[in-house]
Amino acid sequence: MLPSRVSVLVAGGGAAGFMAAITAAEAGATDVWVLEATAEPLNKVRISGGGRCNVTHACWDPRALVGHYPRGGAALRGPFSRFASGDAVAWFDAHGLELVEESDGRMFPRANRSSAVIATLRRAAQAAGVEVVTSEALQAAEAVESRFRLRLRSGRTLSCDRLVLATGSHPSGRRLAASLGHGLVPPVPSLFSLSLAGQPLAALAGVVMDPVQLELLPPQGRRGPRHQRQLQRGPVLITHRGLSGPATLRLTAFAARMLQEQQYCGDLLVDWTGGWSQAELEDCFQSARREQGRRQLGSSRPWPALSRRLWLALLEEQGLDPARRWADLPRRSELALITALRSSRYTIAGRGPFGEEFVTAGGIPLGEMNLATMESRCCPGLYLVGELLDVDGVTGGFNFQHCWSSGWVAGQALAAS
């Protein structure tokens, strides 16, 4: 049972909230409580990464790490210089959880189950003396002199000396922060797949190409900071609706506000070669003519990594018979195929059904925060961490890393204060 007064209350039992509470308690803070609105804390950890939990990313230099955050990256140099990916790996190792790196840099628990991450955080909280209350939510907070007067969903009232908001992207956290003097950068979806008008690639669903270069063209006549060319390169997954995969998700993250302003419409250029020049592709086609001139176009691709299904679709699009020999390919058809490979143009018709990492862009402006402590500049004694802030990363463990970093910095400051 929550007493009528506590020293530190953390509203939100997710990744950032648990890290803040555990770090504060381990660093000497006493009477630390976590309040979780649902029956199960750390639920987002449980479902992330398909139930595996992509804890962080093997990006060890804070200067490189900030480049994976479409919003908030530059400001995060300070917190990441104190607690970055290597520190997160060491922290979990010290608490009994080994992380392993996959070929693309993502890091997962060796057990390959998110339950192992949850068990580690719950065990660390218990060992540090953190009290966790579930199925109870913070409804209202008021700063009164040197403490906070709180009202809970159950109707109970209590007070705390220091308050941490770690409510993620839930509207309740933004409402509470606003009531304590904070502004808000309006949230918009980030990290989502793209639907294409007419579903032109539906027959290729399941095809993966790597690398592919995607370019989102800005609306005509619009050339502000949000409407510059957006270019990303990496793996792309073709779906029944359109495009997904890391390059697509990264593109939609960096262009989240531009796409929202365009109502998720626009033009997309797809370079299936990943960035080859016109001359490089022409050389590739000439080599195919010389080395496999007697072979049929449909059975012999210009380079091995090109998806056979995609190549056949491009041949059909250009009206070319797959049974035609390479030696008989007309020059004009060759140029048309090269153009299709380098700059296929599609019309965006909307977002996919949901964001793969359930991330939003927006939140509490970082200018209202002291990022050395994660304490509010608007309300002394108030700390804000995790997704509540106007920070979001691309897929690959970067959003969790921000949670670990902001929670750790806040926890250290809570103990020091």
Q: What residues have CB less than 8 Å from 393, skipping those under 6 apart?
A: 68, 69, 70, 253, 359, 399, 401, 402
| pLDDT band, very low/low/confident/very high, at 3 (cuts 50, 70, 90) | very high
Token code pair at residue 131: 């009290």
Q: What is the DSSP string of 352-402?
A: EEEEEEEEEEEEB-GGGEETTTTEESSSTTEEE-GGGBS-B--TTTHHHHH
**For residue 18, pLDDT beyond 90:** yes
**H or E stretch covering 22:** helix 15-26
**H or E stretch covering 9:** strand 5-11
- Verify that 268 and 314 share a domain, yes or no: yes
**For residue 1, pLDDT beyond 90:** no
Q: What residues have CB less than 8 Å from 291, skipping those under 6 apart?
A: none
- Verify that 300 and 208 share a domain, yes or no: yes
Mean pLDDT over 180-189 rounds to 95
The packing angle between helices 331-342 and 308-317, to 10°, is 120
Average pLDDT taken over every residue of the chain: 94
pLDDT score of 227: 57
- Verify that 333 and 236 share a domain, yes or no: yes
- Verify that 128 and 275 share a domain, yes or no: no
pLDDT score of 357: 44
pLDDT score of 229: 76
Q: Using one digit for the tens of pLDDT, what is the confidence trace for 223-261?
A: 555 557 799 999 999 999 999 999 999 999 999 999 999
The amino acid at residue 126 is: Q
Residue at which a domain ends, from 357, 377, 400: 357
**For residue 355, pLDDT beyond 50:** no
Token code pair at residue 400: 């969790």
| pLDDT band, very low/low/confident/very high, at 378 (cuts 50, 70, 90) | very high
Token code pair at residue 190: 């980030």
pLDDT score of 50: 87
Q: What is the CATH number of the domain that holds 76?
A: 3.50.50.60
- Verify that 162 and 24 share a domain, yes or no: yes
pLDDT score of 298: 96
Query: Structural domain tally of the chain?
Result: 2
**For residue 356, pLDDT beyond 80:** no
**H or E stretch covering 116:** helix 114-128
Q: Using one digit for the tens of pLDDT, what is the confidence trace for 311-349?
A: 999 999 999 999 999 999 999 999 999 999 999 999 999
Torsion of the alpha carbons at 69, 74, 76 and 78, rounded to the nearest 10: 160
pLDDT score of 221: 53
Q: Is the CA virtual torsion 178, 182, 188, 192 positive or negative?
A: negative
Residue 102 domain boundaries: 5-184+364-416
- Verify that 71 and 205 share a domain, yes or no: no
- Verify that 293 and 408 share a domain, yes or no: no
- Verify that 328 and 397 share a domain, yes or no: no
- Verify that 57 and 12 share a domain, yes or no: yes
Lowest mean pLDDT among 37-41, 177-181, 260-264: 260-264
- Verify that 33 and 169 share a domain, yes or no: yes
Residue at which a domain ends, from 357, 372, 398: 357
Residue at which a domain ends, from 332, 357, 382: 357
- Verify that 212 and 251 share a domain, yes or no: yes
- Verify that 18 and 116 share a domain, yes or no: yes
pLDDT score of 21: 98
The Cα 282–Cα 276 span in angstroms is: 10
**H or E stretch covering 203:** none
